[in-house]
Amino acid sequence: MTFLQSFDFTTLQWSLIILAAMLIGFSKTAIGGVTLLAVPILAGVFGGRASTGVMLMMLITGDLFAVRTYYKHADWQKIKRLFPFTICGVLLGVWLGALMNDAQFAMTIACSVIVCLGILIYFEVKGERTQISNAGYVAVLAGILGGFTSMIGNAAGPVMSIYFLAMGYQKRDYMGTNALFFFLLNLTKLPFQIFVWHNITWRAAGFALSMLIPVAVGAIIGIFTLKRIDERVFRYIVMGMTAIAAVKLLLT
């Protein structure tokens, strides 16, 4: 019996897992909101909390493709300003993770994303995106909320998409900053998943590694897709995916 056969998944479950892996890869190099579409798929196969460990390993794999492709466009200064607050959010998620159930996780994340999306749409309509990004308290809130939602559900994509879009980045700058930020964030979460929540075992890590090819295929599709998306269309797609993901979480 091979390593993968030992998991004893059905054909449908394998198909869903491979789809989720491709969505993760695609989200890392194209449209970040797609990540949340993979969350319920993996949770349905592995269980809510256990799925976060497997998904984290897949996310890090996808991060490598994204960083390699877009790192030259990353805004290091913005990331350095944001990251201390993000770590605070991660620590908050580690602490509250033992106190909240899955339904409370979903409700908290969904409400936060919907509020942030409303703010973004307001400034998009007013044409004043730079004003929201220049406020210091916005970086504090975005960092804490991003770290928190990422730790409890690998669901910070919509939150950070809103924050980075609000800065008025062009497509490549957005992708570079987003890629580097999440690579650093996911590496920060790794020891907590291993030593505090015990969600990542050698078996889980091996399984995630076996999904390298589907993640890579999704990432390559994302790279070619991004090149063909207009700047304005790209912004609207990200906001649309964010809204859909938030509503899905709210109804979970």
Q: Describe the crossing of helices 102-126 and 136-153 by its angle, rounded to 10 degrees.
A: 150
pLDDT at 126 over 90: no
Q: Is 79 exposed, middle or buried (0-12, 13-18, 19+ CB in 10 A)?
A: middle
- Contact criterion met (CB below 8 Å) for 148 and 105: no
Which residues, including other chains, have CB under 8 Å from residue 69's CB and lie 6 or more apart? 29, 175, 179, 219, 223
Per-residue pLDDT, averaged over 216-238, amounts to: 81
Per-residue pLDDT, averaged over 69-82, amounts to: 91
Residue 15's pLDDT is 92
- From residue 236, give the alpha-carbon distance in Å to each of 19, 39, 239, 242: 24, 22, 5, 10
Q: Would you put residue 144 in left (φ > 0), alpha (ψ -120 to 50) or beta? A: alpha
SS3 string, the chain, reads CCCHHHHCCCHHHHHHHHHHHHHHHHHHHCCHHHHHHHHHHHHHHHCHHHHHHHHHHHHHHHHHHHHHHHHHHCCHHHHHHHHHHHHHHHHHHHHHHCCCCHHHHHHHHHHHHHHHHHHHHHHHHHCCHHHHHHCHHHHHHHHHHHHHHHHHHCCCHHHHHHHHHHCCCCHHHHHHHHHHHHHHHHHHHHHHHHHCCCCCCHHHHHHHHHCHHHHHHHHHHHHHHHHCCCHHHHHHHHHHHHHHHHHHHHHC
Is residue 235 very low, low, confident or very high in pLDDT (cuts 50, 70, 90)? low
- Contact criterion met (CB below 8 Å) for 59 and 186: yes
Per-residue pLDDT, averaged over 153-171, amounts to: 80
For tokens 């944001």, name the residue. Answer: 82
Question: Is the entire prediction scored with pTM above 0.85?
Answer: no
Residue 113's pLDDT is 66
Per-residue pLDDT, averaged over 54-69, amounts to: 92
pLDDT at 32 over 80: no
Which residues, including other chains, have CB under 8 Å from residue 218's CB and lie 6 or more apart? 21, 22, 23, 24, 25, 26, 27, 28, 29, 62
Q: Which of 3-7, 122-126, 172-176, 204-208 shows the lowest mean pLDDT across its residues?
A: 122-126
Give the chain's mean pLDDT.
82
More confident residue, 148 or 152: 148
As a whole number of angstroms, the distance between CA 112 and CA 223 comes to 29
Per-residue pLDDT, averaged over 74-89, amounts to: 93
**Which one of 23-37, 124-138, 165-179 scores highest in mean pLDDT?**
165-179
Residue 82's pLDDT is 92
The percent of residues above 70 in pLDDT, for the chain, comes to: 85
Residue 60's pLDDT is 94
- Contact criterion met (CB below 8 Å) for 48 and 102: yes
Q: Which of 7-21, 35-49, 230-244 shows the lowest mean pLDDT across its residues?
A: 230-244
As a whole number of angstroms, the distance between CA 199 and CA 194 comes to 6
- 41-52, pLDDT tens digit by residue? 887 788 767 788
More confident residue, 13 or 252: 13
- 108-124, pLDDT tens digit by residue? 766 766 776 676 677 66
